[in-house]
Structure 1
């Protein structure tokens, strides 16, 4: 489960479901489309040039010198849709993913093309549904997955070699991930080349014992069909994992011993710069994390270990960053209670704590072997700024001057970086800077959007804090109508997500369907309650084992705080959320005792027993050991508490939601029906968790209309 459903790019929105949309959300999408970005940034190997994806063109630019982009694809080529692209190590070839057929959130099959010597040609002729392709480090091979097996394609001979032969749907997966790894560990390519290109390490998932989920598809057919896939719900069996290494010269394959524990996770694998295999190992409870190194003679040793009473924060590509053959950086929070960087040696262990303070490192941007560049919350939990510091923790420098939110795309070697900056009142500004933070030139500044926002005096977020009845201080923002008059009384909509480690209250520019309500005279408020992120481990982990208890208390407190304001109509307070936020919106509607006039819950979890193992168990333990944590706060179990004479409840769900299954809404409505409760419901046939492929507009316009009618 993601920390928040990010709105789909407006350009995509404009192409789906537009006929039924009214003007309110169409206007929101138009404004979002004016917020300028630079897409598909790749640094070239020289660190002096970068490429971007503009339409279906791949263009090469200089970091230092302004000028037109150099087109890298021949004019004669006819690529219908460039979904992604990767350069070969010598940058003489480009591997192009053309089009995509989605599988789940991150995964898709595609047609692969190879651009080389001024020609673009289809490759992988034997592949039926290829995916996750990549070059070998020596540029001779392309590895890819097809129908759950792993293959390599020899570029020179145009021949394909099959690495595995036991892949089967809903049974065995080689080289790509199963559903729950893809969703929760955020990757799909489950293989890695050795630096010399002679070995290929890969994961083998045996999901044959994972319970089968059947999701009904209708698709306008006379007879509907069930789509079956393996989905491990909390407490149920996961895939059994094995780690293998294939010798690409001899064809021999060997299994790596990953320990006696079969019910564990291996969320990443790779090779050190000098060619030693490593892998992450995480226990089922996810409170013990190890990085294991495999020596050439077969021995293994743990080169980093982290333990936590509740859980180790979700590991990803940024958890460990290799500096050289011996040293590596680790980003972790268990030592001090805040996420910081530590320098380790494979041979000697911990060398230095690189960053420290009552703030958090949110991401490693890059290193040149002497310094590390990173993003952090040092100025405020609501903001992100770029810093650099020596690997011994000395000579720290802040490189970004703005007060707001930065994202960074670094050049190879960290000589330059491309920054995208915004804050609550300023849309995106994209700049190229040198390694010291000096601006080289501006790529985009969203000028047309800025001018329109200023001319229309569009209201902006006002950040504030308040203290709950229990003494907890929460970060929040509100957006008030442009003609706000404190002598009047206004309806209020709370918008929230509230999931563990998430953040809604951030100093960055954004626009979504709620902003249409501000134009109609509503106040929109968001508060990050206990359990949300970037305020330290203690604040975040206090919701462990009782999801929905403290978070609901904090949203109820937010509603009461707003009701006490003299300019708020206390009888017209509503709440909205999607996914985890939907779980919260339903819970608040049921436990609010009429505090909320209206609640909208999109794709809500209604029992954590219905959600997946990795996400649910890290925050709630297994249901076998914490049944109360699953049942005491399940909306299904207190459906009787809905005061339907005071609170209008709208449930929205897509029937093809492979993430939060439609089952969640069905079982809640069963409970509501049992107690004779009245509610409203909007069902989107064959739409997924994001209401794709065709109802992104419709669902948001529905929420606008419903709020205007019932709040």
Structure 2
């Protein structure tokens, strides 16, 4: 008994020390400097930012105190977002936010101009997704599933649609699955002449309802219901409509014979023609459809794949003028590259080529395109520019690491944020040619503390598999690492399709606090992850969880064989897709792992949403084996609970990966007579917000220290 008490006391002391260490991680992470809310102004030589809950204007080329653009506001006025009007004399400010789902929120809108700061859209609640018309006279916005117009001069509102209804009809904003998987909520666009608005109308009346229980400290709990299309189930029927602001006429735009398809983007060409993306349900065919002035339509771009076309976004197609446009595409070359197209002539030529990937377009001029790529390394991002004919390529960034870019209008300047594994953020202004103008942030205080404490830095390695190929990985070793000793190892991973966890950028999280406690932490990107080519990424198609689990098991076996590793003390952790993987590894590992932590795990892809699941796994009606053969629910009996301690963590208000996943996993384990641990967070979402982000990390750390 005395020995047990001593062990318990040691565990508590270790947990307390770790909690203190994690608080230190949070403090250090908060010192990583950045610049928020960057907006280039129309002249391309000034920009605005969010600072100290106000908006300030700066010149790119000159160091100055900055001009405050808002009048003094009370402390309760919290800026969530802002936009400058086209003439930049008025600012639309969103103050406060009431979250709906991951990207969506309602807010209160204010206008700031020569008359001061004043609330608008009075008497209308649940306002969201507001934006100026190109002529600056009106603001479109959504409220309660309908689309509205606000006239700035008359301060009047006009309701464009009348049939919006919860869980039935949505106008001008997106349904749950579009928001989550296509990553946008504003589903309307003004024409360049401000006379028309194109918008999407979602009919989700046939989409099955998901019910999520809310407790909220009430005497009687309440059900929250929303439309959630699971794999193979009915999606919303999505229509494209056109509203004429002058006449009030509404016209439905023909989007083709298929109704079970996706329209993930709509927009206008520079000369005022409507276009939209069209993606079939299986997501292996992508089209760009142009609506000509005479009412006719034509497909100006089409991409097909035997597996899937990588998910599209607004910058997949970028129009240069009335005829030419740039496409980001990976199917032709097996790598994501840029191509120049003509509406009239089709493909003109590739712009970029090589055994690397374009990851994003930073800016365009009439002569050059600026893009981020992995040319230096799959782990890094650098900015390049190239002429539209694919010549005169220049690398504009000089450091070895990871850059993000905020361009000025016309790419006269850009603001770069750089970091790498050993260097926190450095924010600089550079000319469009890459010449340093000035440095905005250096994170100097953080750099000094990191150097003084000799905090361990990620080492990038490659791990061989039994197949003979290699996986990119990083490793964190404790201070004073002694290769003659043996260390416990925590493997952390996400592993989802197209993702990347092994990147040369600065970060700190709860795993770093475990390193302080003497653990080695390793992360490896297995097959299915991104930026190593289409074949590497898409080989997991139709069999989610099979190859990915094989690779993590291979990594664990490799680590166990290292002379500094304690092979009896290897654990694995993951969240969301990573939680699905942690379960798969724990159940299929046959005792390889001493501990596993699965947070918000998918336990059957039949439970997850249509867009994400079907693009990678096909329809369950066509591919039942791909859904069932690798579901943790179907091999719960393989958990070696005498050797592997398993912790499952979930929030009951997770609208993304439903709590249902964990309940069914518990049912399967219970029926097999298996022992495991569980931590439940009432009314918390997929990120354990709004209250328990720290608590869940403290729980995971304490569980690791106790059981690994």
TM-score, reference length from structure 2: 0.97
Checking the alignment, whether the CA contact within 8 Å between 1:77 and 1:119 is kept in structure 2 is no
Following superposition, the deviation at residue 322 of structure 1 comes to: 1.4
Distance 1:66 1:322 in 2: 34
SS of the counterpart of 1:584? Answer: helix
Question: Could you report, residue by residue, the CA deviation over 1:461-492 in whole angstroms, capped at 9, with x for unpaired residues?
Answer: 01111220012310001000111000100000
Please name the residue that 2:282 is paired with. Answer: 285
Please name the residue that 2:223 is paired with. Answer: 226
Correspondence for 2:182 among 181, 185, 188 = 185
Following superposition, the deviation at residue 128 of structure 1 comes to: 1.3
Correspondence for 1:121 among 118, 127, 132 = 118
Distance 1:606 1:318 in 2: 33
Structure 2 gap ranges (5+): 1-15
Give the number of the structure with larger relative contact order, counting CA–CA contacts within 8 Å between residues 6 or more apart: 1
SS of the counterpart of 2:315? Answer: coil
Please name the residue that 2:621 is paired with. Answer: 624
Determine whether 1:548 maps to 2:545.
Answer: yes
Correspondence for 2:598 among 597, 601, 613 = 601
Please name the residue that 1:32 is paired with. Answer: 29
Distance 2:659 2:577 in 1: 14
Checking the alignment, whether the CA contact within 8 Å between 1:50 and 1:63 is kept in structure 2 is yes
Determine whether 1:580 maps to 2:577.
Answer: yes
Following superposition, the deviation at residue 77 of structure 1 comes to: 6.8
SS of the counterpart of 2:415? Answer: strand
Please name the residue that 1:482 is paired with. Answer: 479
SS of the counterpart of 1:30? Answer: helix
SS of the counterpart of 2:567? Answer: strand
Distance 2:653 2:18 in 1: 22
Please name the residue that 2:10 is paired with. Answer: none
Please name the residue that 2:258 is paired with. Answer: 261
Please name the residue that 2:204 is paired with. Answer: 207
Please name the residue that 1:344 is paired with. Answer: 341
Following superposition, the deviation at residue 318 of structure 1 comes to: 1.9
Correspondence for 1:505 among 498, 502, 505 = 502
Correspondence for 2:698 among 685, 695, 701 = 701
Checking the alignment, whether the CA contact within 8 Å between 1:405 and 1:508 is kept in structure 2 is yes
Distance 2:501 2:355 in 1: 20
Correspondence for 1:240 among 211, 219, 237 = 237
Following superposition, the deviation at residue 679 of structure 1 comes to: 0.2
Determine whether 1:442 maps to 2:439.
Answer: yes
Change (3 A) 1:397 1:250: same
Following superposition, the deviation at residue 323 of structure 1 comes to: 1.2
SS of the counterpart of 1:255? Answer: strand
Please name the residue that 1:309 is paired with. Answer: 306
TM-score, reference length from structure 1: 0.97
Determine whether 1:106 maps to 2:103.
Answer: yes
Please name the residue that 1:668 is paired with. Answer: 665
SS of the counterpart of 1:672? Answer: helix
SS of the counterpart of 2:348? Answer: strand
Distance 2:110 2:52 in 1: 17
Following superposition, the deviation at residue 79 of structure 1 comes to: 6.2
SS of the counterpart of 1:526? Answer: strand
Change (3 A) 1:20 1:653: farther
Following superposition, the deviation at residue 55 of structure 1 comes to: 2.6
After the TM superposition, which of the residue ranges 74-83 and 58-67 deviates more from structure 2? 74-83
Question: Could you report, residue by residue, the CA deviation over 1:365-388 in whole angstroms, capped at 9, with x for unpaired residues?
Answer: 010111000000001000000000
Please name the residue that 1:677 is paired with. Answer: 674
SS of the counterpart of 2:626? Answer: helix
Please name the residue that 2:371 is paired with. Answer: 374
Distance 2:180 2:467 in 1: 35
Please name the residue that 2:315 is paired with. Answer: 318
Question: Could you report, residue by residue, the CA deviation over 1:168-193 in whole angstroms, capped at 9, with x for unpaired residues?
Answer: 00000000000000000000000000
Checking the alignment, whether the CA contact within 8 Å between 1:79 and 1:98 is kept in structure 2 is no
Checking the alignment, whether the CA contact within 8 Å between 2:18 and 2:701 is kept in structure 1 is no
Distance 1:236 1:529 in 2: 30
Distance 1:91 1:83 in 2: 19
Question: Could you report, residue by residue, the CA deviation over 1:548-592 in whole angstroms, capped at 9, with x for unpaired residues?
Answer: 000000000000000000000000000000000000000000000
SS of the counterpart of 1:254? Answer: strand
Please name the residue that 2:389 is paired with. Answer: 392
Change (3 A) 1:342 1:147: same
Distance 2:113 2:54 in 1: 15
Please name the residue that 1:153 is paired with. Answer: 150
Determine whether 1:560 maps to 2:542.
Answer: no
Checking the alignment, whether the CA contact within 8 Å between 1:21 and 1:698 is kept in structure 2 is no
Aligned residues between the structures:
693
Distance 2:568 2:66 in 1: 57
Determine whether 1:418 maps to 2:420.
Answer: no
Change (3 A) 1:101 1:371: same
Distance 1:250 1:79 in 2: 41
Please name the residue that 1:522 is paired with. Answer: 519
Alignment of 1:30-69 (within 5 A): 30-69=27-66
Determine whether 1:90 maps to 2:87.
Answer: yes
User: What value does the CA root-mean-square deviation take over the aligned residues?
Assistant: 1.1
SS of the counterpart of 1:554? Answer: helix
Distance 1:154 1:602 in 2: 47
Distance 1:709 1:332 in 2: 48
Please name the residue that 2:352 is paired with. Answer: 355
Distance 1:20 1:484 in 2: 20
Following superposition, the deviation at residue 69 of structure 1 comes to: 1.2
Determine whether 1:80 maps to 2:115.
Answer: no
Question: Could you report, residue by residue, the CA deviation over 1:33-82 in whole angstroms, capped at 9, with x for unpaired residues?
Answer: 01100000000000000011013110000000001110000136776100
SS of the counterpart of 2:36? Answer: coil
Correspondence for 1:692 among 684, 689, 693 = 689
SS of the counterpart of 1:204? Answer: strand
